Structure 1
Amino acid sequence: MRLMPRIHDLYIGRTVLLTVAVVWMVLLGLDAILALSGEAKNIGQGSYTFGHAIAWTAYTLPRRAYTLFPMAAVIGALMGLGQLAATSELTALRAVGVSRRRIAISVAIALSLLTAVMVINGETLSPWAQNRADALRSSARYETDMAMARYSGLWAREGDTFLNAQTGEEQLTEDGATRLVLHDVRLYELDAAGRLATLTYAVTARHDAGGWVLEKVRRDRFAERVVTRTTVESEPWNSQLDAAALAAGLAKPRNLSAAELRTSIEYRKRNGLDARDYEDTYWGRWFYPLNVLALCLAAVPFAFGSLRSGGMGKRLFMGMLFALGFLLLQMFFSRMAGALKFDYRIAYALPPILMLLISRWLFHRRR
């Protein structure tokens, strides 16, 4: 089999890319409309307006495109090959000696171009745009002086006190409520002249129904010529900072690049924190291209089946069902990895390997 692309490879690739692009735009448009309608419930909170909702939706489009691409690739590939089958072009290609394997490779190479674009998007544009979207919504809804710095965590201001937390997460309590836990917290309190009066460090700052509590606190007070330090194991913190606003401003794992995820994982492991959510997202990024390729190759045999029996609608439905089953299987393995605490690399490698084996079996079965 020649590796250099020939005219039929370019024709198949162009057809598949066009159908994938159309399906992708349709799915992305529907998802954006649903997101905008869901965002309407926030209009009127603080200074949040319909314009903010539109801007928030626009900022989230790169992330949505990244998430929807695997499904669009499967449906578009099946539709593209189905279009060629309906006009007997696949039959003609088979008659002149083009194998099913060669056709599948042409599809895979064409989709790999879009996959590469999505990988770059997932590492650059998507995290930046999603962080901008979250910051826009939080600042408008809660009207707080808050920002999420790229490398220095969460910053918030309350009067003359500035808060900085490196990481944080929302946790479920035993009674079903939620609490916000911030890690590696620093409070900078300024005096009337704008000089640093007090620097407070806390290992964690916890907010629940009882308010804010600082744990393992070290406080330095700066006088004219002397600095005094006090330490306490735990103390309440009288603050009116909105926990919901802070939680909305925290960087989610999906909003980080692979390098930032790796840094966060190492940081959390060094400090004895749970890093499973970050590991899940990190390895999902690495296996993203393999998942797209395995998913499409496993669904391609359904398009060949339309040449001999059954309508294309039936084959398309079966291919979509197959793709949905793959995504659910992948989700199941990742959740099991988090629950049973085994390596996420195994959880993300098993589904594509299984799909590739099924694809090989289907190719042999339809010869």
Structure 2
Amino acid sequence: MIPRPMRFDYYLGRAVFGTVLLTWAVLVGLDVVMAFSGEFKDVGKNGYTLGHAAAWVLYTVPRRAYTFFPTAAVIGSLMGLGQLAATSELTALRALGLSRRRLSLSVAVALSLLTGAMVVSGETIAPWGQERADNIRMSAKRGGDMSVARYAGVWAREGDTFLNAQGGEEQLVEGGGTRLVLHDVRMYRIGPEGEIVSLTHAATAEHDASGWVLKQVRRDIFGERSLTREEAPSEKWDSQLDAAALATGISRPRNLRAADLRTSIEYRERNGLDARDYEDVYWSRWFYPVNVLALCLAAVPFAFGSLRSGGMGKRLFLGILFALGFWLLQLFFGRMAGALKFDYRVAYALPPILMLGISAMLFRRKSG
């Protein structure tokens, strides 16, 4: 039988909910204002207006809310519980026979509702909004010559040629600079009557300081009653297509849904490409709710001791300290996984295990 929530569960949940939502709104609001002010430098260029900048920022709000929620959760939880501790309400609940673990469970259940909503948002509204935002920005800045389709990769047009790439990435080159590499590229050349004159397929299209190079090229040229095929291991492509514009059209792994990340990982593994950047983001999505709850539970013991006599500044400082420490710990293990080539699941499991271990140790110390 599932135990029914008690009145103190609702009371604790309401206190934590309020401070988490307030902290969340402040963090996301500051980030939105900074992002909007950062767009002013591009307003007036190539038809990019203030309305485009505002629309871009608004569409990215769900993604920003998803990103800032873990930080807001731990800061808001400490502030909410700190207020109850300062007024001795937590002490009164303890006098009723409620253990610290039982009170922590009430906080975890309250936070799990918001965490669940963020997980759903991260797979639905946030990627959709980011995709719309990217389309608005590119369409305005590039004069409508570029578009991004979720299932068809990147599309671009140059004169009578239409280019489609299924994926790609920017790579660092020796000596500095970057190189854009597009995978599974198709170029359609359209005639004056709307007919397809030629279809070119290339395994990759690479752009660096020397220009464009197509590799493993196969070109079909269509005549009125004939078809001619040409093949070449590589060839130069004389094009003025803006590589920077194409690079912005490639979806970043962090902006993709988990299902799309899984598809991208499988595609890259089948073709012998490096998929670790996608694996990093993919497993971070699965560990997102675990990280939030572990981070908040690790901070809860402070509410029963050091926050009782502390002011708002102390609670805020501890919340930021916990959030920053956890982020650095997760970043460290993530970078180690990338450098040493071990499983990202291990890298993302270690930080919450360490935080929960710290929480258990602090609970035993305060109970002793």
**1:150: which partner in 2?**
150
Q: Post-superposition shift, 1:141?
A: 1.4
**1:9: which partner in 2?**
9
**1:86: which partner in 2?**
86
Percent pairwise identity: 70
Q: Post-superposition shift, 1:41?
A: 1.9
- Whole-Å separation in 2 of the counterparts to 1:49 and 1:193: 35
- Whole-Å separation in 2 of the counterparts to 1:40 and 1:178: 27
Q: Post-superposition shift, 1:142?
A: 2.1
**1:204: which partner in 2?**
204
Code of the aligned partner of 1:94 = R
- Whole-Å separation in 2 of the counterparts to 1:36 and 1:121: 22
2:193 is the alignment partner of 1:162:
no
RMSD of equivalent CA atoms: 1.4
Question: Is contact 2:138-2:147 (8 Å) kept?
Answer: no
- For residues 310-342 of structure 1, the C-alpha deviation after alignment (integer angstroms, 9 at most, x for no partner) is 555335423421221111100111111112111
Question: Is contact 2:307-2:315 (8 Å) kept?
Answer: no
TM-score (norm 1): 0.97
TM-score (norm 2): 0.97
Question: Is contact 1:216-1:234 (8 Å) kept?
Answer: yes
The secondary structure found in structure 2 opposite 1:366 is helix
The secondary structure found in structure 1 opposite 2:48 is coil
The secondary structure found in structure 2 opposite 1:5 is coil
- Whole-Å separation in 2 of the counterparts to 1:313 and 1:27: 16
Code of the aligned partner of 2:244 = A
- Whole-Å separation in 2 of the counterparts to 1:322 and 1:133: 32
Code of the aligned partner of 1:280 = D
Q: Post-superposition shift, 1:144?
A: 4.0
Mapping 1:62-73, distance limit 5 Å: 62-73=62-73
**1:232: which partner in 2?**
232
- Whole-Å separation in 2 of the counterparts to 1:316 and 1:245: 41
**1:33: which partner in 2?**
33
4+ runs deviating over 4 angstroms: 307-312
**2:219: which partner in 1?**
219
Q: Post-superposition shift, 1:223?
A: 0.8
Question: Is contact 2:145-2:157 (8 Å) kept?
Answer: yes
- Whole-Å separation in 1 of the counterparts to 2:243 and 2:193: 29
**2:334: which partner in 1?**
334
Question: Is contact 1:21-1:76 (8 Å) kept?
Answer: yes
- Whole-Å separation in 2 of the counterparts to 1:55 and 1:110: 33
**1:97: which partner in 2?**
97
**2:317: which partner in 1?**
317
Q: Post-superposition shift, 1:197?
A: 0.9
- Whole-Å separation in 2 of the counterparts to 1:129 and 1:298: 33
Code of the aligned partner of 1:31 = D
- Whole-Å separation in 1 of the counterparts to 2:81 and 2:308: 14
- For residues 26-84 of structure 1, the C-alpha deviation after alignment (integer angstroms, 9 at most, x for no partner) is 00100111111122222232111222111111111000000000000001101111111
**1:262: which partner in 2?**
262
Question: Is contact 1:154-1:250 (8 Å) kept?
Answer: yes
**2:135: which partner in 1?**
135
Q: Structure 1 residues 320, 366: closer, same or farther in 2, change over 3 A?
A: farther
Code of the aligned partner of 2:9 = D
Point out where structure 2 has 5 or more consecutive residues left out of the alignment.
none
Mapping 1:265-304, distance limit 5 Å: 265-304=265-304
2:53 is the alignment partner of 1:53:
yes
Question: Is contact 1:181-1:206 (8 Å) kept?
Answer: yes
Which region of structure 1 is more displaced relative to structure 2, 106-115 or 143-152? 143-152
- Whole-Å separation in 2 of the counterparts to 1:349 and 1:86: 34
- Whole-Å separation in 2 of the counterparts to 1:172 and 1:53: 30
**1:126: which partner in 2?**
126
Q: Structure 1 residues 307, 257: closer, same or farther in 2, change over 3 A?
A: closer
- Whole-Å separation in 1 of the counterparts to 2:77 and 2:120: 22
Point out where structure 1 has 5 or more consecutive residues left out of the alignment.
none
The secondary structure found in structure 2 opposite 1:26 is helix
- Whole-Å separation in 2 of the counterparts to 1:307 and 1:244: 50
Q: Post-superposition shift, 1:277?
A: 1.0
Code of the aligned partner of 1:6 = M
Question: Is contact 2:166-2:185 (8 Å) kept?
Answer: yes
Question: Is contact 1:23-1:76 (8 Å) kept?
Answer: yes
Question: Is contact 2:168-2:182 (8 Å) kept?
Answer: yes
The secondary structure found in structure 1 opposite 2:198 is strand
Question: Is contact 1:85-1:306 (8 Å) kept?
Answer: no
The secondary structure found in structure 2 opposite 1:228 is strand
- For residues 182-240 of structure 1, the C-alpha deviation after alignment (integer angstroms, 9 at most, x for no partner) is 00000011111111110000011011111111111000001111111110111111112
